[in-house]
Amino acid sequence: MTNRPRQLPVHAMMIVLSVLALFPVYWMIVTALKPETEIFSTALWPKAPSLENFGYVLEAIPMLRILWNTALMASATAAAQVLTGLLAAYALVRWPFPGVKLAQAVIGLSWLVPFQVTMIPNYVLATELGLRDTIAGLVIPNAAAAFAVIVFYNAMRSFPKEVIEAARMDGAGASRILWQIVAPNMRPALAALTVLAFISAWNEYFWPLLLTRHIENAVVQIGLEMFMSQEGNQWGPMMAAATLASLPILALYLVLHRQIIDSFMRSGLK
Amino acid sequence: MTAIAEIFAPTGLALPRLRSAALPWAYLAPALLITLVWIYLPLIEAAKLSFYQWNMLPTSPQRFVGWDNYRNLLTLPDMSRAALNTVLYIVGLLPLSVLIPLAVAILTQDMTGRARGIYRSLIFVPMIVAPVVAAILWRWLLNDTHGLVNAGLEVLGFGPVGFLQDPDIALWTLVWITGWKLIGFSTLLLSAANATIAPSYIEAARMDGASRWQVIRDIRLPLLSPTILLLTMMTALFGAQWSFIYVNVLTGGGPLKSTTNVFFLMWDYGFKTLSAGWSAAAGILTFVTLAAVALLMLRLMKRLAVYDE
């Protein structure tokens, strides 16, 4: 309020950025709602909105099955990353054991290795283990994430050591201290990481692309890509499929946008 | 989890020392095991594979070829073209992931109240949109015959642009789509950093007669340098990896290999032409380069970044 004349260009800039961010998503939904006769019109809202494109998608590919697979995969991945991350961070924070630096480095540097460098050996290993075309195969390699360990490590470091010491004096074991004292106090970090891991897993594309053979076992990004290569220029159904694939995440964002933004910023870009 | 601890240090040994030494490793085991099995061992395996010729068929043998894969990569034009393109992706991304967000963060710092929260939530949306969905969205918007962008250009009197078909333009289209997802995120990260700068510094500088630009140059930019360098490093390390998905979904590396970067090249060698050795060699070269860049940038960050102490 201090500098009224200066506020106007500021708002203008933010509005331009917001439109740039939102319009493509809006255009996807609007195109999905357009009947075939209107598909090439540039009108910002269809004259006769219809759900026929959604019907088309549901008939062409087992979309509900695919969404269910994805929900399962993303939940399992998030749960696994939270669990392995909590355990590892607890070890790193709680005990000054020999090798702690090495363990930190091994976990911390793992994000530097690009997926494409390890994909062939991983593909061979997954094939040998019979993990192709399974949900487990999508979850297991992603069951631990460096950023989960780092986020929990930072959250745990601020936990007062005296409380842990007191609990230990009372005879609580290491695991009881973790689950009954430390973890319940980390709810914000736990929630943030669960949401973040869920969204990343939901949007995962390349590893599923390598493992998936049949569309009934596909996750949603693969289903979308398969749909695109089959019906690439059926714009209405294409946008309906993309809308269906995004709805769960967009709904989650509508409810939790503040927390989601915070958790993304906390863990950096990867 | 005590179960695992027990396995690692059986009480039968009854050595409390040993048990307490093994305990942290028991907690670390799940994360370490997965990291080793799915990241580090495959990295070593890839390093080994880079000296072999193999067509990815489990039944066919792997043949040792020494440095041949590397020699071929370094002499044939594919790799150098892809490496150059990779640099173009990264350089093209920097304005979108660092410069524009920095300008916006500084110019919007006085904004307060509800509007700020709403803008925050809006400009962040692309970050949560799945890359495949982003690819599809932009494929439709930028379609050469029916896309909205070309319709707009036509109204302005320009001919249709082949955003994904023109070899001179396709790479920059993919850079834009990659950057579209990042602008909002980077802006919020820089805004958050900007908001932590103590107002007393600015106040003091103003009292000394510093202009708005001087305040930005001498106070804000130095104090924002850790975040700026972090974003630059992230873009340098991961920018081309982020764009990989759009290359695969939208252009397949074309037209005329104009959008192929090293990550797509590895993919192409590995799963299209089934030359695992070439893919692995390209992977190791890329990894070594990335590690060197990371090391250099971390050094640079330590030396250049100004912290508010």
Same domain for A107 and A181 = yes
* In chain B, % of residues over pLDDT 70: 92
Q: Report pTM.
A: 0.88
- Is the pLDDT at A2 greater than 50? The verdict is no
Q: Does B126 touch chain A (CB under 8 A)?
A: yes
Partner-chain residue, chosen from B35, B130, B270, that has the shortest CB–CB distance to A107: B35
Instruction: For residue range A201-254, list pLDDT tens digits in order.
Output: 998 898 999 999 888 889 999 999 888 888 777 888 899 999 999 999 999 898
pLDDT class for A173, splitting at 50, 70, 90? Answer: confident
Query: Looking at beta carbons, which residues of chain A come within 8 Å of B176?
Result: none
Paired residues of B63 in beta bridges:
B53
Q: Does B302 touch chain A (CB under 8 A)?
A: no
Mutation target for B interface from A106, A109, A118: give the one with most B CBs within 10 A: A118
Instruction: For residue range A13-63, list pLDDT tens digits in order.
Output: 889 999 999 999 999 999 989 888 888 888 888 887 888 889 888 888 888
Same domain for A60 and A45 = no
Q: Which tokens in the block code for residue B276?
A: 């695992």
Q: Does B190 touch chain A (CB under 8 A)?
A: no
- Is the pLDDT at B108 greater than 90? The verdict is no
Within 32-91 of B, beta carbons closer than 8 Å to A belong to 32-43, 45-46, 49, 56, 58
Question: How far apart are alpha carbons A181 and A173 in whole angstroms?
Answer: 11
Query: Looking at beta carbons, which residues of chain A come within 8 Å of B45?
Result: 118, 121
Instruction: For residue range A54-94, list pLDDT tens digits in order.
Output: 988 888 888 899 999 999 999 999 999 999 999 999 999 88
- Is the pLDDT at B137 greater than 60? The verdict is yes
B307 Cα to chain A: minimum distance (Å):
19
Question: How far apart are alpha carbons A252 and A76 in whole angstroms?
Answer: 17
Q: Domain locations in chain B? A: 2-49, 68-304
Least trusted range by pLDDT, from A51-60, A185-194, B7-16, B168-177 = B7-16
pLDDT for residue A42: 80
pLDDT for residue A4: 54
* In chain B, % of residues over pLDDT 90: 33
pLDDT for residue B3: 42
Position with higher pLDDT, A167 vs A80: A80
What type of residue sits at position A161?
K
* 3-state DSSP of chain A: CCCHHHHHHHHHHHHHHHHHHHHHHHHHHHHHHCCHHHCCCCCCCCCCCCCHHHHHHHHHCCHHHHHHHHHHHHHHHHHHHHHHHHHHHHHHHHCCCCCHHHHHHHHHCHHHCCHHHHHHHHHHHHHHCCCCCCHHHHHHHHCCCHHHHHHHHHHHHCCCHHHHHHHHHCCCCHHHHHHHHHHHHHHHHHHHHHHHHHHHHHCCCHHHHHHCCCHHHCCHHHHHHHHHHHHCCCHHHHHHHHHHHHHHHHHHHHHHHHHHHHHHHHHCCC
pLDDT class for A160, splitting at 50, 70, 90? Answer: confident
Query: Looking at beta carbons, which residues of chain B come within 8 Å of A235?
Result: 140, 143, 146
Q: Which position has the token pair 């993303």?
A: A74
Partner-chain residue, chosen from A13, A106, A264, that has the shortest CB–CB distance to B32: A106
Same domain for A180 and A70 = yes
pLDDT for residue A6: 61
Same domain for A157 and A113 = yes
> What's the domain range around A110?
55-267
Look at chain A and report how many structural domains it folds into: 2
Please state, in angstroms and as integers, the Cα–Cα distance from residue A214 to each residue in A128, A134, B164, following that order: 18, 10, 29
Same domain for A152 and A219 = yes
SS3 B64: strand
Query: Looking at beta carbons, which residues of chain A come within 8 Å of B192?
Result: 265
Domain B68-304, CATH number (from 1.10.3720.10, 3.20.20.10, 3.10.129.10, 3.60.90.10): 1.10.3720.10
Same domain for A74 and A40 = no
Partner-chain residue, chosen from B122, B187, B290, that has the shortest CB–CB distance to A22: B122
Same domain for A201 and A105 = yes
Same domain for A112 and A180 = yes
Same domain for A132 and A14 = no
Select, from the ranges A75-84, A182-191, B57-66, the one with the highest average predicted confidence (pLDDT). A75-84
Residue B86 burial by Cβ neighbours in a 10 Å radius (0-12, 13-18, 19+): buried
Same domain for A171 and A46 = no
Q: How is residue B63 annotated by DSSP? A: E
Q: Does B9 touch chain A (CB under 8 A)?
A: no
Partner-chain residue, chosen from A2, A122, A258, that has the shortest CB–CB distance to B38: A122
pLDDT for residue B93: 95
Instruction: For residue range B209-249, list pLDDT tens digits in order.
Output: 888 888 888 888 888 888 898 899 889 988 888 899 999 98
Work out the angle between the directed axes of helices B100-107 and B221-246 (0-180°, nearest 10). 140
Q: Are the C-beta atoms of A25 and A243 separated by less than 8 Å?
A: no
Instruction: For residue range B13-23, list pLDDT tens digits in order.
Output: 444 566 677 88
- How do the residues of chain B divide into helix, strand and coil, expressed in percent and rounded to 5? 75, 0, 25
Q: Are the C-beta atoms of B128 and B258 separated by less than 8 Å?
A: no
Same domain for A196 and A140 = yes
B287 Cα to chain A: minimum distance (Å):
7
> For the stretch B230-266, what's the b/e string if a residue is b when 16 or more beta carbons lie within 10 angstroms of its beta carbon?
bbbbbbbbbbbbbbbbbbbbbbebebebbbbbbbbbb
Same domain for A12 and A90 = no
Average pLDDT in the A157-186 region?
Answer: 86
Partner-chain residue, chosen from A119, A140, A202, that has the shortest CB–CB distance to B270: A119
Q: Does B179 touch chain A (CB under 8 A)?
A: no
Question: How far apart are alpha carbons A110 and A145 in whole angstroms?
Answer: 9
* CATH number of the domain that residue A73 is part of: 1.10.3720.10
pLDDT for residue B6: 42
Are A21 and B138 within 8 A, CB to CB?
A: no
pLDDT for residue B308: 60
